Structure 1
Amino acid sequence: MFDFYGTVVDMQGSLTRAVAPYLERKGYTKNPPGRLVTWWRRTHFENSMIDALLHRDHTPYRQIGFEAVDYTLERAGIEHTDDEVRELVDEITRLDPFPDVVQALTEMKEHGLKLYILSNGDPDMLAAGVPYSGTADLWDRVMSVAEADSFKPHRTTYHTAAALVGLGCHDILFVANHAFDCIGAKAAGLRSAFVDRRKRPFGNGRYSADVTVSDMAELAALLKTTVEI
């Protein structure tokens, strides 16, 4: 079971490439595009975590994205319209996969593994973004946390996903590039694999990942030799 944004698809790189021409049209040169994307993503992350902690009515990912982009542009002093914000948020449906992903997932599929997505994205965003990534045919099921009414890492999301695919939590290896997602999955009773693309410390000894790999290719190679982690 895989996280999608940032694990399967390169969110930082793809959004940076999308934002660059927009900032050029605005004549904005104070900060590089990648820095604004980092502000955007951090704000989005913080707001989604607040939403999960409140655990009230689930706020759609797209709405949180709108608020995050609007805040980021205002922080940068860039005049903008609501339509421009919506267009930038929609770039999340057009993210490129990491170079190693398609081949690695194909090898996992050929090894006989069931492959699932559990993403914080809205269902309609995943319906567009998964085919764009070139991985649509590889998944046995694509799940949005909207089905659990809470963003990851709330334990309800992982328990709901396990129930939807008819597996016990202990039968699932959850794969993510984000430590918080691995921690959430592990605390919910799943096993976890940390894809350490950014070469950063995991930072949590209580819910440590069961395996750490540098990329999906390394994970696929590991799973070729054993399904037990």
Structure 2
Amino acid sequence: MITTVLIDYDGTLHDWDTVIKHSLNGILGLTGEEFYNTWTHDIHRAIIHAKHMERHDDTQFHCKLLFKHLNKPHDPQVTELICQKFQEAARKAKDDPTYFPDAIPALDEIKKMGLKLCLSTGTNAEAKAQTLKHATGTDYFDHVFSEPTIGCFKTEPEYYHTALKRANSKPHETVSIGDTPLSDIRPAKIAGIHTIWLNRDGEPRPPTEDQRADHEVENLLQAAQLLRTNLDARQNQT
């Protein structure tokens, strides 16, 4: 029986993608959509996650890889502009957050089920939880986990092992919900946790089995329904 839910923030609850796409539109001759997709998939996930996790939050290093990927000479002024745009987007995300339309209703549904709800993200988890509380007037999370407080990257199974210990939860009674297979699905599966991949944009299934979730949904209300179905099935068995 599921008792605990670990849920991601950016790209799952908070619509960071739209904010950053708008901010980066026109840079290097790319649309915001083109820039974001190249940055996220070709640089951040394909290179940083695979080879340079210690540079996970190093925007300037990302820029160097971006110029190389685009076969363009490195331009310090454009790099500075990109860094500035990311900083501006981060401030907007804090001061005027944009949550997906299904995010708050889904959180409400999960809380009504009596499940232990935990925010599991990379950085600034406490600030993100407070931003959500300020925006909604509701304190949703029983626990808040981030890489600095856990002591390792979210791409590592140890992140989830530690989160389970702190939440006093068991792997088979826990589900991880998120939009990024490399950090929300793969390490959680290795830790024995059930997984739900939030695939809002209809992306292709991950190429390797270890990144494929137990369930795939298009929005968080579908994820909440899966949790409700699980609870109802368990109750009917008792």
Q: TM-score range by the shorter chain?
A: 0.7 to 0.9
Contact 2:9 2:120 in 1 (8 A): yes
Aligned equivalents of 2:199, 2:226: Cα separation in 1: 15
Contact 2:129 2:141 in 1 (8 A): no
Aligned equivalents of 2:49, 2:209: Cα separation in 1: 24
Corresponding residue for 1:64? 58
SS of aligned partner of 2:98 = coil
Q: Does 1:188 align with 2:191?
A: yes
Distance 1:195 1:48, change over 3 A: same
> Which aligned pairs between 1:60-99 and structure 2 lie closer than 5 A?
63-69=57-63, 72=66, 79-80=77-78, 82=80, 85-92=83-90, 94=93, 95-99=97-101
Residue identity opposite 2:18 in structure 1 = G
> Which aligned pairs between 1:1-229 and structure 2 lie closer than 5 A?
1-20=6-25, 23=26, 28=27, 30-42=29-41, 43-45=43-45, 46-52=47-53, 63-69=57-63, 72=66, 79-80=77-78, 82=80, 85-92=83-90, 94=93, 95-123=97-125, 126=128, 130-131=132-133, 134=136, 137-180=139-182, 181-199=184-202, 200-205=204-209, 208-227=212-231
Aligned equivalents of 1:98, 1:109: Cα separation in 2: 18
Structure 2 gaps of 5+ residues are 1-5
Aligned equivalents of 2:211, 2:82: Cα separation in 1: 40
- Provide, for residues 86-123 of structure 1, a one-character-per-residue CA deviation record: whole Å limited to 9, x for no partner: 45235235052221111111111111111111111244
Residue identity opposite 1:154 in structure 2 = E
Residue identity opposite 1:209 in structure 2 = A
Structure 1 gaps of 5+ residues are 53-57
Corresponding residue for 1:55? none
Aligned length: 216
Aligned equivalents of 1:191, 1:126: Cα separation in 2: 24
CA shift at 1:69, angstroms?
A: 4.8
SS of aligned partner of 2:29 = coil
Query: Cα RMSD over matched residues?
Result: 3.2
Aligned equivalents of 1:87, 1:109: Cα separation in 2: 35
Residue identity opposite 1:103 in structure 2 = P
CA shift at 1:31, angstroms?
A: 1.5
- Provide, for residues 46-67 of structure 1, a one-character-per-residue CA deviation record: whole Å limited to 9, x for no partner: 3244344xxxxx66x5x42453
Distance 1:219 1:84, change over 3 A: closer
CA shift at 1:161, angstroms?
A: 1.0
Contact 2:24 2:82 in 1 (8 A): no
What is the TM-score with the length of structure 2 in the denominator?
Answer: 0.74
CA shift at 1:81, angstroms?
A: 6.5
